[in-house]
Amino acid sequence: MSKMKKLTGSFRYTQWDPCLIISQIVAMQSVLYLSLSLLVAIMQDLTDSTRTLDHIFEYHELHVRDNEGRAIILAFVFNAIFGAFALWTIVGRTKLCLDFSCTYHCIHLLICWMYNGRFPTTFSWWTLNIACAAITCVTGEFLCLRTELQAIPLSNIGAKVDL
């Protein structure tokens, strides 16, 4: 009996692959924390503030009272837009954008909770993270959908298929 791959009529290979999913989650976390760190460092240089991890993980640092707090908020928003491009590049599936966006922000919530020793309770932290999750998800879905809806070239329609 020959080992032939059965054609199911599905456009994409959709078998559940936990190694792929875990590696995509790790890649998304790494890329987004790296870009957020760079953006926060740039914003800290622009506002002449000291470089500290508190700006990323301390929920009391996110406020609009001064330029330093507003710059950090702006870094998070820019990172959300960058996250959409990361979703498009790393994940590439429209229907997975919500899952990966929420996964990133839930892991960020857990890290902030452990870093601070208590659950984040400030309105500004929750508002910013929910807005950033929405920006990442919606923009990522838009980018992935544009790619998924491109016409499939049928140039090899007359080619012989060996099974």
**110-152 tens-digit pLDDT:** 999 999 999 998 898 999 999 999 999 999 999 999 888 876 7
Does a structural domain hold residue 156? Answer: no
Q: Is residue 155 in a domain?
A: no
Say if residues 19 and 4 touch (Cβ distance below 8 Å).
no
Q: Does the pLDDT at position 1 exceed 50?
A: no
- What's the confidence (pLDDT) of residue 15? 74
On whether the pTM is more than 0.85, the answer is no
pLDDT at residue 90 greater than cutoff 80: yes
Is 59 inside any structural domain? Answer: yes
| More reliable by pLDDT, 87 or 9 | 87
Number of domains in the chain: 1
Q: Please give the share of the chain, as a percent, with pLDDT higher than 70.
A: 85
Q: Rounded to an integer, what distance in angstroms lies between the CA atom of residue 38 and that of residue 79? A: 10
**pLDDT band for position 10 (50/70/90)?**
very low
pLDDT tens profile 41-55: 999 888 888 888 888
Answer whether residue 8 is part of any domain.
Answer: no
163 belongs to a structural domain: no
Structural domain boundaries, residue 90 = 28-147
Q: What is the DSSP string of the chain?
A: ----PPP-S-SS-----HHHHHHHHHHHHHHHHHHHHHHHHHHHHHTTPPP-THHHH-GGG--SSSHHHHHHHHHHHHHHHHHHHHIIIII--GGGHHHHHHHHHHHHHHHHHHHHSS----HHHHHHHHHHHHHHHHHHHHHHHHHHTSPPP-TTTTS----
Residue 98 lies in a domain: yes
Residue 58 lies in a domain: yes
Residue 15 lies in a domain: no
pLDDT at 8 over 70: no
